[in-house]
C-alpha cells in the first residue's frame, strides 16, 4: 500500500469511488490508515476520508470514534475486530493518537501541551501531558519541582518555560486523572493490523507526531495507507517558500468553495497579516466572508479593513527585528508575544540566542576567514564563496574550545584535579548549525553587518542585567524588556 501526501488524497478517494460505481474491485479503501502531520491538514484529511467511506447519516452507526490516549488502544482494536450488525462499512477512528509518543522529544510534546493549555483546551492538554508521562513510564509523583528536570529529560532553560505546568498538575489531581497503563500500545496496534480486521471494517489513526523508523509506522505503510500532511517546518528559504505556496493554494481553495475570488495582492496581504498558519487563515477567511457579503471579489483593502495581525511566529519576527535594529517592529512583535501569554523571560532567552549568533557571525567577519565576504553580496555568491570558509571557521573554533576544555579538566598550571564525570562538549555551538541550509546563515551575516562587536558586547551585558532585574522581581517585566530592546537597537553604550 502507498504513502501519499495530502494533496493526493482527493485523487486516491476518487479512484476508489469510481471503481466502486463501476463494480470493479481493483481499488479499495485500505484496512488501516495513518494520517499525520500538520494538525489542521490531518483533521481536514480525516474528514474527507471518513465522509467518503461512510457518507452522511450513515456515520451515526458506521463510525465509532475513540480517544487518542494509549489506554484506549485496546478498546479501539476490539471495536475494529468486531463484526458489524449493520450493512456497509464500519470505521473505527483514533483521533490525536499518542501511540507514537515513545521516543519523541519531551520538549516537543510539552510544547504541544503548553499550547493546548494556553488555548484553554484543558482536557486535551492533560491528555497530551499524561500521554508523555506514560511513554516515559513516569507518574504524577515524579513531577515534584526537584524531580522534573531529570525525569522529563529537559534542560533547566526549557523547564523555566513551563510556567503552566503547576496549574496543569493541579487540574489533573482535581479531576482524578492518572497516567495511562504502561502496556505497549504500539505493539498491540501493530499486531492487530497485521492480523487483519473483518471485511468492511477499517481503522483510521490520526497523529501530530510519528516516527518513520518504528515498526508500527512501517506496518501502516505496508498493509494500509499513510497520508502525510506535514508542512516544511524550518525557515530555510526553500521550505518557507513551499509553506507559502501551500497557504496560497489553501486560500484559493477556500475562496473557490465559497464562489469568491481574490487577487494576488489580497492573498499576499492575508498571509502577511495572518502568518503561515492554515488554521488561522481559515478563521480569517470566515471573517472576510462576513465582511464582503454577496460581493464576489475580495480585495487587499478588505483584508486590511477586517484583520489585525495574528501571526503565530512573533518570536522569530521579534529576534529578526532586533537583528535589523528595527525598534517599531521589535516592540510590535514583543507586544504580540505578551498578548498570547508568552513569558517575558522566554522572549529574553530568544534575544540572548540571537545576540550570540550575531557575535559568532561578527567574529567570523573579523577573522581571516571572513575576507571572502562582500557586504550586501547575493545569496548564490555567498553559498559558493563564503559558506566553505564558515564551515572551516566552525571547525577551527571547535578545536580551540576543545583545547580549552581539556586544559581546564587537567587543572590549573598542570595540577591534576579530581576526575569528574565527563560533561557534554561546548564545542558544538557552530555558526552554521546545519551546513546543508546556508540561507539562515546568510541572513545572520547580513544582520551582523549592522553591529560593531562593541555593540554586541553591550547588548549581551544589557541582556544579562535585564535577566537579573527580571528574576529579582522587577516591577514590570515587559517594560524592562522594552527598554532593553530599544537600548540594543540604538547601540547605546556600544
Res 494: pLDDT: 55
pLDDT, tens digit, 9 for 90 and up, residues 370-410 = 888 998 888 778 888 999 999 988 888 888 888 777 777 66
Instruction: Report the range of poorest mean pLDDT among 90-99, 226-235, 306-315.
Output: 306-315
How sure is the predictor about 275, in pLDDT bands with cuts at 50, 70 and 90? confident
Greater pLDDT, 107 or 394? 394
Closest CA to 59 of 91, 29, 31: 91
On the question of pLDDT at 105 being above 80, the answer is no
* DSSP secondary structure letter of residue 421: P
On the question of pLDDT at 211 being above 70, the answer is yes
Instruction: Name the most confidently modeled range: 53-57, 127-131, 132-136, 235-239.
Output: 53-57
Collapsing DSSP to helix, strand or coil, 35 comes out as strand
Res 423: pLDDT: 43
Residue 45, exposed/middle/buried by CB under 10 A (0-12, 13-18, 19+)? buried
Question: What does the H/E/C string look like for 462-476?
Answer: HHHHHHHHHHCCCCC
How sure is the predictor about 255, in pLDDT bands with cuts at 50, 70 and 90? very high
pTM of the model: 0.54
On the question of pLDDT at 106 being above 90, the answer is no
CATH number among 1.10.238.10, 1.20.272.10, 3.30.565.10, 1.10.3720.10, domain 314-404+427-490: 1.20.272.10
What is the rounded CA–CA span in Å between residue 117 and residue 348?
A: 22
Average pLDDT over residues 55-82: 88
What is the rounded CA–CA span in Å between residue 268 and residue 34?
A: 33
* DSSP secondary structure letter of residue 82: S
DSSP H helix total and E strand total for the chain: 23, 8
On the question of pLDDT at 222 being above 90, the answer is yes
Sign of CA dihedral 256, 257, 259, 262: negative
Collapsing DSSP to helix, strand or coil, 277 comes out as coil
pLDDT, tens digit, 9 for 90 and up, residues 414-454 = 554 554 444 434 444 578 877 777 877 888 899 999 999 99
Residue 324, exposed/middle/buried by CB under 10 A (0-12, 13-18, 19+)? middle
Task: Name the β-bridge partners of 4.
Answer: 227
On the question of pLDDT at 2 being above 50, the answer is yes
Residue bearing cell 502568518: 275
Domain boundaries, the chain: 3-98+183-229, 106-175, 240-306, 314-404+427-490
Q: Spelled out in words, what is the top-level CATH class assigned to the domain 3-98+183-229?
A: alpha beta
Domains 240-306 and 314-404+427-490 share a fold: no
CATH number among 1.10.10.370, 1.10.10.10, 1.10.8.60, 1.10.3660.10, domain 240-306: 1.10.8.60
Closest CA to 245 of 3, 437, 7, 43: 7
On the question of pLDDT at 237 being above 80, the answer is no
Amino acid at each position: 500500500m502507498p504513502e501519499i501526501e495530502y494533496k493526493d488524497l482527493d485523487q486516491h478517494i476518487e479512484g476508489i469511488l469510481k471503481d466502486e460505481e463501476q463494480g470493479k474491485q481493483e481499488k479499495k479503501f485500505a484496512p488501516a490508515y495513518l494520517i499525520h502531520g500538520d494538525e489542521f491538514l490531518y483533521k481536514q484529511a480525516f474528514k474527507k476520508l471518513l465522509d467518503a467511506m461512510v457518507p452522511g447519516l450513515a456515520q451515526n452507526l458506521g463510525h465509532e470514534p475513540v480517544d487518542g490516549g494509549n489506554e484506549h488502544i485496546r478498546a479501539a482494536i476490539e471495536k475494529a475486530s468486531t463484526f458489524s450488525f449493520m450493512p456497509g462499512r464500519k470505521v473505527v477512528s483514533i483521533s490525536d493518537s499518542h501511540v507514537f509518543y515513545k521516543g519523541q522529544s519531551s520538549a516537543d510534546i510539552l510544547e504541544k501541551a503548553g499550547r493546548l493549555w494556553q488555548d484553554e483546551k484543558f482536557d486535551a492538554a492533560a491528555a497530551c501531558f499524561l500521554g508523555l508521562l506514560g511513554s516515559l513510564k513516569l507518574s504524577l509523583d515524579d513531577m515534584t519541582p526537584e524531580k522534573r528536570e531529570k525525569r522529563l529529560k529537559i534542560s533547566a532553560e526549557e523547564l523555566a518555560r513551563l510556567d503552566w505546568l503547576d496549574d496543569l498538575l493541579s487540574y489533573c489531581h482535581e479531576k482524578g486523572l492518572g497516567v495511562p497503563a504502561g502496556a505497549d500500545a504500539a505493539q498491540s496496534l501493530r499486531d492487530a493490523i497485521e492480523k487483519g480486521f473483518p471485511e468492511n471494517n477499517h481503522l483510521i489513526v490520526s497523529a501530530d507526531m510519528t516516527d518513520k523508523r518504528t515498526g508500527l509506522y512501517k506496518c501502516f505503510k505496508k498493509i494500509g495507507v499513510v497520508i502525510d500532511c506535514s508542512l516544511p517546518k524550518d525557515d530555510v528559504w526553500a521550505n518557507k517558500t513551499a509553506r507559502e505556496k501551500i497557504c496560497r493554494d489553501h486560500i484559493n481553495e477556500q475562496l473557490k468553495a465559497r464562489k469568491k475570488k481574490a487577487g494576488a495582492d489580497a492573498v499576499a496581504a492575508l498571509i502577511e497579516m495572518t502568518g503561515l498558519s492554515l488554521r488561522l487563515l481559515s478563521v480569517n477567511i470566515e471573517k472576510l466572508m462576513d465582511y464582503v457579503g454577496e460581493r464576489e471579489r475580495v480585495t487587499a483593502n478588505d483584508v486590511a479593513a477586517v484583520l489585525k495581525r495574528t501571526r503565530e511566529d512573533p518570536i522569530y519576527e521579534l529576534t529578526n527585528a532586533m537583528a535589523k535594529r528595527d525598534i517599531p517592529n521589535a516592540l510590535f512583535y514583543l507586544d504580540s508575544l505578551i498578548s498570547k501569554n508568552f513569558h517575558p523571560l522566554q522572549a529574553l532567552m530568544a534575544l540572548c540566542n540571537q545576540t550570540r549568533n550575531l557575535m559568532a557571525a561578527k567574529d567570523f567577519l573579523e577573522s581571516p576567514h571572513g575576507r571572502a565576504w562582500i557586504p550586501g553580496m547575493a545569496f548564490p555568491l555567498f553559498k559558493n564563496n563564503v559558506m566553505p570558509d564558515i564551515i572551516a571557521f566552525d571547525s577551527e573554533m571547535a578545536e580551540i574550545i576543545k583545547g580549552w576544555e581539556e586544559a581546564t579538566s587537567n587543572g590549573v598550571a598542570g595540577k591534576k584535579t579530581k576526575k569528574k564525570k565527563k560533561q557534554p562538549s561546548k564545542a558544538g555551538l557552530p555558526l552554521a548549525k546545519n551546513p546543508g541550509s546556508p540561507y539562515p546563515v546568510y541572513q545572520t551575516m547580513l544582520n551582523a553587518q549592522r553591529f560593531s562587536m562593541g555593540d554586541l558586547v553591550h547588548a549581551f551585558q544589557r541582556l544579562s542585567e535585564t535577566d537579573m532585574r527580571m528574576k529579582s522581581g522587577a516591577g514590570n517585566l515587559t517594560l524592562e524588556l522594552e527598554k532593553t530592546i530599544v537600548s540594543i537597537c540604538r547601540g547605546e553604550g556600544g
